[in-house]
C-alpha cells in the first residue's frame, strides 16, 4: 500500500517492471518500447553506476495486451507479485492503463507510461496519485492535427474515423472538437477493431470526397482502411494517429502506396549517441513513435529511486512509496530526449504537446514536418 515501505532484501535486485504488449497486433510497438526502457536503463547505469545502494537493477517485462484490459490486469498482478518491484514503466495503451491505474495506486507503486495518451487517464486517477506519463495527451495530439489541417491544407470538410477503442475514440473526439471550433464541418464515423473489410465506408468517403480523412486508432486497421480508400478512388489527404505511425505495420505492407500519408505523434528526431546505444543493444534503429518517451521514463524512475533509497544496516534497501512518488513528480531530468520534463499536479507534462510532432511518408520513411 502507499503506507507500506518497499523493502529490497540484502543481495536481491531492484526490479523495474515494464508493462507493454509483447504479442498480438501491437507487438512491434510494445517490443520497441521495452527496448527503449532497456537502453534508457543502460544509459543511466553508464552515468550513475550499475547499482543503487549496492543492489543490482533488473528489468522484468510482462505482456499487457495493449487495449485488452483483462490482459493488462493479469500483467499487473504478475508484476505486483514480484519481490523488489519499485515501479512500473507503462502500461502501454489507454484502455489497459485505465483498468490498472487504481490497482497500482492501491499497491503504492509508481507507474510512468510513455504512450498511454487518453486525456482523462490522469484526471480520473484516485488519490494519492501514482500514475504519470512522459507521453503527450490526446487533447494535444488532436489539436495538433487540427492545426496542421488548417495551416497546410485549409480544409472545409473532414472525415474523422475512430476504431471504437478507448484511445481512438478519445483522440477522435479531440480532433473533431478542435476542427469544429474553427468552423470546419466534420463527419464522424467508427470502425471496429479486428475488422478487415471497410469497402462500404471507403466508397462513401470516395463519393463525398472530403478535404481530408483522419483516422484515430491502430494498425492493421489503419493500413487496411488507407488501402481501401485509395482503391475506392479517394485520393485526398490522409492523416493517421501515433497508433498507426509504425513503419513495419504501415509503410512496409503498403509500399509506394503509403507515400504522402501524414501522421501525428511520430518518433522525435533522436540524438546520434542514443541511436548508437540503441543499435548496439538492440541491433537496429527504432521504427515506432515512443522511444524517447520510454527512455525518459526509465531515467525519471531510476533518478527518483536513487534519490529516496535508504540503506539499512543489514544490507537491505527501503523505499517509502509516497517519497518515491514525490521524487518522480519533481524529476531531476529537466531536459530529456522527448523535450522539457515537468509534471503538473495530475501527472501530465506541463507542456501538453511536448514531444509531439507530425510526419509524412517520404521515400518509404517517416520524415518529420515543420509548419
pLDDT score, position 353: 59
Phi, psi of 300 (to 5 degrees): -60, -45
Task: Give the residue ranges of the chain where pLDDT is below 50.
Answer: none
Closest CA to 19 of 120, 133, 122, 169: 133
Q: What is the number of domains present in the chain?
A: 2
Q: Could you say which of 242, 264, 286 is where a domain stops?
A: 264
If 0-12 CB within 10 Å is exposed, 13-18 middle and 19+ buried, where does residue 157 land? middle
Q: Are residues 35 and 51 in the same domain?
A: yes
Q: Could you say which of 264, 291, 314 is where a domain stops?
A: 264
Q: Are residues 180 and 248 in the same domain?
A: yes
Task: Provide CB contacts within 8 A for 258, sequence distance 6+.
Answer: 223, 226, 250, 251, 361, 364
Q: Check: CB of residue 203 under 8 Å from CB of residue 176.
A: no
Q: Check: CB of residue 352 under 8 Å from CB of residue 136.
A: yes
The cell 489503419 sits on which residue? 222
Tell me the C-alpha distance between 175 and 140, whole Å.
Answer: 9
Q: Check: CB of residue 258 under 8 Å from CB of residue 226.
A: yes
Q: Are residues 70 and 117 in the same domain?
A: yes
129 domain-assigned: yes
Answer whether the bond into residue 32 is a cis peptide, omega within 30°: no
Q: Are residues 122 and 201 in the same domain?
A: no
Q: Are residues 155 and 13 in the same domain?
A: no
365 domain-assigned: no
18 domain-assigned: yes
Q: Are residues 17 and 118 in the same domain?
A: yes
Strands 317-319 and 6-8, by their bridges, are antiparallel
Residue 155 CA to chain centroid, in angstroms?
Answer: 29
CA dihedral 98, 99, 105, 110 (to 10 degrees): -60
Bridge partners (DSSP) listed for residue 113: 133
Q: How many CB atoms lie within 10 A of CB 350?
A: 10
pLDDT, tens digit, 9 for 90 and up, residues 156-189? 999 999 999 999 999 999 999 999 999 999 999 9
193 domain-assigned: yes
123 domain-assigned: yes
Q: Are residues 156 and 179 in the same domain?
A: yes
Q: Are residues 165 and 118 in the same domain?
A: no
Q: Are residues 282 and 298 in the same domain?
A: yes
Task: Provide CB contacts within 8 A for 204, sequence distance 6+.
Answer: none
Q: Are residues 170 and 255 in the same domain?
A: yes
Q: Are residues 11 and 130 in the same domain?
A: yes
Q: Could you say which of 264, 287, 309 is where a domain stops?
A: 264
pLDDT, tens digit, 9 for 90 and up, residues 198-251? 999 999 999 999 999 999 999 999 999 999 999 999 999 999 999 999 999 999
Bridge partners (DSSP) listed for residue 52: 55
Tell me the Ramachandran region of residue 119: left when phi exceeds 0, alpha when psi lies from -120 to 50, beta otherwise.
alpha
Q: What is the DSSP letter of 129?
A: P
362 domain-assigned: no
- Identify the CATH number of the domain in which residue 158 sits: 3.40.50.2300
80 domain-assigned: yes
Angle between helices 291-308 and 27-48 (to 10 degrees): 40
Domain of 81 in residue numbering reads as 6-136+269-340
Question: In what helix (H) or strand (E) does residue 56 lie, and over which residues does it extend?
Answer: strand 55-63
Closest CA to 95 of 254, 243, 239: 243
Q: How many CB atoms lie within 10 A of CB 156?
A: 11
Q: Are residues 154 and 44 in the same domain?
A: no
Closest CA to 302 of 92, 42, 67, 69: 42
What share of residues in the chain are helix, strand, coil (percent, to 5)? 40, 20, 40
Bridge partners (DSSP) listed for residue 366: 361
Tell me the C-alpha distance between 85 and 171, whole Å.
Answer: 32
Angle between helices 69-80 and 94-107 (to 10 degrees): 30
Amino acid at each position: 500500500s502507499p503506507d507500506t515501505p518497499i523493502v529490497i532484501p540484502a543481495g536481491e535486485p531492484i526490479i523495474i517492471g515494464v508493462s507493454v504488449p509483447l504479442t498480438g497486433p501491437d507487438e512491434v510497438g510494445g517490443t520497441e518500447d521495452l527496448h527503449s526502457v532497456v537502453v534508457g536503463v543502460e544509459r543511466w547505469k553508464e552515468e550513475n553506476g550499475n547499482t543503487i545502494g549496492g543492489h543490482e537493477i533488473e528489468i522484468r517485462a510482462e505482456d499487457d495486451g495493449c487495449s485488452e484490459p483483462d490482459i493488462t490486469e493479469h500483467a499487473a498482478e504478475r508484476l505486483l507479485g514480484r519481490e523488489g518491484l519499485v515501479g512500473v514503466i507503462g502500461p502501454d495503451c489507454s484502455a489497459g492503463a485505465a483498468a490498472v491505474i487504481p490497482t497500482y495506486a492501491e499497491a503504492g507503486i509508481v507507474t510512468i507510461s510513455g504512450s498511454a495518451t487518453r486525456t482523462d487517464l490522469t484526471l480520473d486517477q484516485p488519490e494519492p496519485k501514482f500514475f504519470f506519463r512522459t507521453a503527450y495527451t490526446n487533447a494535444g495530439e488532436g489539436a495538433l492535427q487540427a492545426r496542421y489541417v488548417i495551416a497546410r491544407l485549409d480544409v472545409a470538410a473532414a472525415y474523422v474515423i475512430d476504431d471504437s477503442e478507448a484511445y481512438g475514440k478519445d483522440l477522435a473526439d479531440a480532433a473533431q472538437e478542435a476542427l469544429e471550433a474553427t468552423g470546419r464541418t466534420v463527419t464522424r464515423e467508427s470502425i471496429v477493431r479486428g475488422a478487415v473489410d471497410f469497402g462500404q465506408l471507403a466508397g462513401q468517403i470516395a463519393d463525398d470526397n472530403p478535404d481530408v480523412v483522419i483516422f484515430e486508432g491502430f494498425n492493421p486497421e489503419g493500413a487496411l482502411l488507407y488501402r481501401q480508400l485509395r482503391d475506392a478512388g479517394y485520393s485526398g489527404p490522409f492523416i493517421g494517429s501515433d497508433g498507426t505511425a509504425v513503419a513495419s505495420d504501415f509503410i512496409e505492407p503498403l509500399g509506394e502506396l503509403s507515400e504522402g500519408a501524414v501522421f501525428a505523434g511520430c518518433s522525435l528526431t533522436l540524438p546520434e549517441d542514443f541511436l548508437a546505444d540503441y543499435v548496439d543493444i538492440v541491433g537496429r534503429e527504432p521504427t515506432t513513435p515512443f522511444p524517447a518517451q520510454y527512455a525518459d521514463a526509465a531515467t525519471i524512475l531510476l533518478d527518483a529511486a536513487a534519490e529516496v533509497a535508504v540503506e539499512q544496516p543489514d544490507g537491505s534497501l527501503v523505499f517509502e512509496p509516497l517519497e518515491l512518488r514525490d521524487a518522480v513528480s519533481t524529476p531531476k531530468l529537466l531536459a530529456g530526449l522527448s523535450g522539457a520534463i515537468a509534471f503538473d499536479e495530475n501527472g501530465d507534462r506541463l507542456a501538453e504537446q511536448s514531444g509531439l510532432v507530425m510526419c509524412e511518408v517520404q521515400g518509404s520513411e517517416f520524415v518529420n514536418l515543420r509548419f
